[in-house]
């Protein structure tokens, strides 16, 4: 990073910005300071742009005060529609980030036992469980991370060992859901969230609105997608045990994981991105992939600084990716390419600061546009020198997608009826659509940090899968296949989809891009191709 953000107003006393333009300058400085502080807190760097944490923290505090004052001032005024929309956009992002907003755990897992915690504190405590407990799963005399364990459930050949590993996750289930009774930490959390939704990106109606549909339509789409899967994978005589599900559908991993060692992940990822015209080195993307205690327990991408105009020239955003990889494999490269999808999206945005951050659902859906490619035989042949049969690869890909859709539907139902027993809700969904044997005695759904760190967020993955299939189909139609690279990919997508941030409302942007409204047909057709 070379240039410094504009800081001229930072050390002045806080006076409420009077105009939208004035507010937006402070808002941009806030986003830059937030990105810098988060980068330092993530453990990636000690300084950003020559400033240490203390300095960035002070800048951030000042900008939080200025933006809060400016928003309050302008929200009380009658504004022309475009200004009102700008203020609304800044308000949404600001509310999300101004608190802690941090990805690194800021509380202790044990705090979750306290019945006195409000929503935010309870979310933070339960999220910390995914670091303290979830990333220290004891199995066969050693410790594995949660994402490592989920991948090992695909790989381990012996059912007894898979069962043992599955049950080794019980401490995490307990940390999240206690004894599963009404006083469980998760049930206390979800009832508070349902009573006071966290925001548009985590409510069923909010997520549905990004696709331009009503909540009930989105829920039906999720069920339709799961139904399509059920039809091509009928349960037959026997249900599959939950510790066997990932293994049953992991034949592609079994075929190619030997060609994806841990050490190869970054180079594979970089090569594919380059072949898509999105050279991650040229875009300045930073990767921090080794496990480390206290690090965010999930993989994520974020902006170290936003893209913005400076003295008439565009200063691009810089993105970073954080993860905890202790093993390679198809599962991991899929996730890493997903995070890279976020990073190149962030780098492609060319819009004013108020609209810098796109809708969450749209971001999650786009990140899977490149990541689904790793299941394609053409990708595997080119980058690994061997390929699993297409049907095996698609089954594995969609088995993982179906779990996300199942979690999304789980959240829709828990948010609608927070007094429901989550184990019963999860058992019903997984037995009906995925053919998984019922185990209502276990809270085995509790292995995704988003469920507690940001309740409602899994819906973005579930609905995102519908959009991903649509975006991939449209992109293929426009520029040809891209699963094994296509130099037009990044330029064409940047120009037609990514550069806008949230400056165009998502349903309109998607309609413009697709030439029609979003529909689940593309995803359902792909699933049905497995017949
Ligand atoms: Zn993501």
Bigger pLDDT: 116 vs 51: 51
pLDDT tens per residue across span 14-33:
678 889 999 999 999 999 99
pLDDT of residue 103 exceeding 90 = no
Distance 145 CA to ligand 1 centre (A): 19
289, 45 Cβ separation under 8 angstroms: no
Distance 300 CA to ligand 1 centre (A): 6
Q: What is the pTM of this model?
A: 0.90
Distance 462 CA to ligand 1 centre (A): 12
How far apart CA 444 and CA 496 sit, in angstroms, is: 41
Distance 302 CA to ligand 1 centre (A): 10
Distance 385 CA to ligand 1 centre (A): 28
Residue 12: pLDDT band (50, 70, 90) is very low
Distance 338 CA to ligand 1 centre (A): 6
Distance 57 CA to ligand 1 centre (A): 26
Distance 365 CA to ligand 1 centre (A): 8
Distance 342 CA to ligand 1 centre (A): 7
211, 456 Cβ separation under 8 angstroms: no
pLDDT tens per residue across span 183-231:
899 999 999 999 887 666 778 998 999 999 999 999 999 999 999 999 9
Choose among 42, 113, 86: nearest CA to 356: 86
Distance 341 CA to ligand 1 centre (A): 8
How much is the average pLDDT of 225-241?
90
Distance 220 CA to ligand 1 centre (A): 23
Whole-angstrom CA distances from 219 to 190, 215, 359, 430, 528 are 18, 6, 19, 16, 20
Which of 111-115, 357-361, 422-426, 444-448 bottoms out in mean pLDDT, i.e. has the lowest? 111-115
Distance 263 CA to ligand 1 centre (A): 22
Q: Give the start-end residues of each E strand in 53-206.
A: 137-139, 142-144
Average pLDDT, the chain: 93
* Residue ranges per structural domain of the chain: 20-97
How much is the average pLDDT of 431-458?
95
Distance 466 CA to ligand 1 centre (A): 15
Backbone dihedral angles phi then psi of residue 318, each to the nearest 5 degrees: -120, 130
Distance 239 CA to ligand 1 centre (A): 31
Residue 5: pLDDT band (50, 70, 90) is very low
Which of 1-5, 141-145, 425-429 bottoms out in mean pLDDT, i.e. has the lowest? 1-5
Distance of CA 442 to the CA centre of its chain: 25
Distance 431 CA to ligand 1 centre (A): 27
Both structure tokens of 25: 């300058």
307, 453 Cβ separation under 8 angstroms: no
pLDDT tens per residue across span 159-180:
999 999 999 999 999 999 999 8
Distance 366 CA to ligand 1 centre (A): 9
Which of 144-153, 480-489, 520-529 bottoms out in mean pLDDT, i.e. has the lowest? 144-153
Q: What is the pLDDT of residue 8?
A: 43
Distance 382 CA to ligand 1 centre (A): 25
How much is the average pLDDT of 100-121?
83
Distance 346 CA to ligand 1 centre (A): 12
Distance 372 CA to ligand 1 centre (A): 13
Distance 482 CA to ligand 1 centre (A): 20
436-453 core/surface letters (b: 16 or more CB in 10 A; e: else): bbebbebbbbbbbbbbbb
Distance 363 CA to ligand 1 centre (A): 7
Q: What is the pLDDT of residue 486?
A: 98
Going across the sheet that includes 300-305, the strands are: 286-288, 318-322, 300-305
């Amino acid at each position: 990073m070379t240039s410094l953000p504009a800081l001229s107003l930072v050390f002045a006393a806080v006076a409420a910005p009077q105009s939208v333009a004035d507010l937006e300058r402070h808002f941009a400085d806030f986003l830059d300071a937030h990105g810098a502080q988060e980068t330092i807190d993530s453990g990636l760097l000690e300084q950003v742009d020559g400033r240490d944490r203390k300095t960035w923290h002070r800048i951030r505090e000042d900008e939080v005060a200025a933006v809060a004052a400016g928003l309050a001032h302008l929200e009380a005024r009658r504004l022309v529609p475009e200004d009102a929309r700008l203020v609304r956009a800044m308000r949404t992002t600001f509310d999300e980030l101004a608190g802690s907003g941090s990805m690194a755990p800021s509380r202790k897992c044990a705090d979750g036992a306290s019945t006195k915690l409000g929503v935010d504190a309870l979310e933070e405590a339960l999220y910390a469980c995914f670091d303290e407990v979830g990333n220290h799963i004891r199995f066969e005399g050693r410790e594995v991370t949660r994402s490592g364990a989920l991948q090992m459930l695909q790989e381990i050949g012996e059912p007894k060992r898979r069962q043992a590993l599955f049950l080794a996750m019980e401490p995490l289930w307990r940390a999240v859901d206690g004894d599963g009774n009404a006083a469980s930490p998760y049930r206390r959390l979800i009832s508070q969230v349902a009573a006071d939704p966290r925001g548009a990106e985590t409510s069923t109606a909010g997520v549905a609105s990004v696709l331009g549909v009503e909540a009930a339509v989105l829920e039906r789409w999720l069920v339709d997608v799961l139904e399509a899967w059920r039809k091509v994978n009928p349960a037959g005589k026997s249900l599959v045990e939950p510790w066997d599900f990932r293994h049953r559908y992991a034949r592609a991993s079994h075929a190619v994981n030997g060609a994806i060692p841990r050490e190869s992940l970054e180079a594979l990822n970089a090569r594919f991105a380059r072949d898509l015209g999105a050279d991650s080195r040229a875009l300045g993307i930073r990767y921090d992939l080794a496990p480390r205690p206290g690090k965010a327990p999930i993989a994520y991408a974020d902006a170290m600084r936003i893209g913005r105009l400076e003295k008439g020239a565009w200063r691009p955003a810089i993105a970073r990716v954080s993860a905890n990889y202790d093993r390679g494999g198809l599962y991991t490269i899929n996730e890493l390419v997903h995070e890279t999808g976020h990073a190149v999206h962030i780098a492609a945005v060319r819009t004013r600061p108020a609209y810098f951050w796109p809708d969450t659902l749209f971001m999650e859906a786009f990140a899977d546009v490149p990541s689904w490619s790793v299941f394609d035989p053409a990708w595997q042949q080119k980058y690994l020198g061997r390929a699993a049969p297409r049907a095996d690869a698609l089954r594995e890909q969609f088995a993982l997608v179906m779990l996300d859709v199942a979690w999304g539907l789980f959240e829709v139902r828990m948010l609608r009826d927070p007094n429901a027993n989550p184990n019963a809700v999860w058992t019903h969904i997984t037995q009906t659509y995925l053919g998984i044997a019922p185990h209502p005695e276990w809270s085995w759904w509790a292995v995704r940090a988003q469920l507690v760190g940001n309740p409602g967020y899994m819906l973005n993955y579930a609905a995102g899968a519908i959009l991903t299939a649509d975006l991939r189909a449209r992109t293929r139609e426009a520029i040809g296949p891209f699963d094994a690279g296509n130099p037009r990919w990044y330029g064409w997508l940047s120009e037609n989809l990514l550069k806008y941030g949230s400056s165009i409302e998502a349903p309109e942007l998607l309609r413009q891009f697709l030439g029609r409204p979003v529909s689940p047909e593309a995803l359902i057709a792909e699933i049905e191709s497995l017949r």
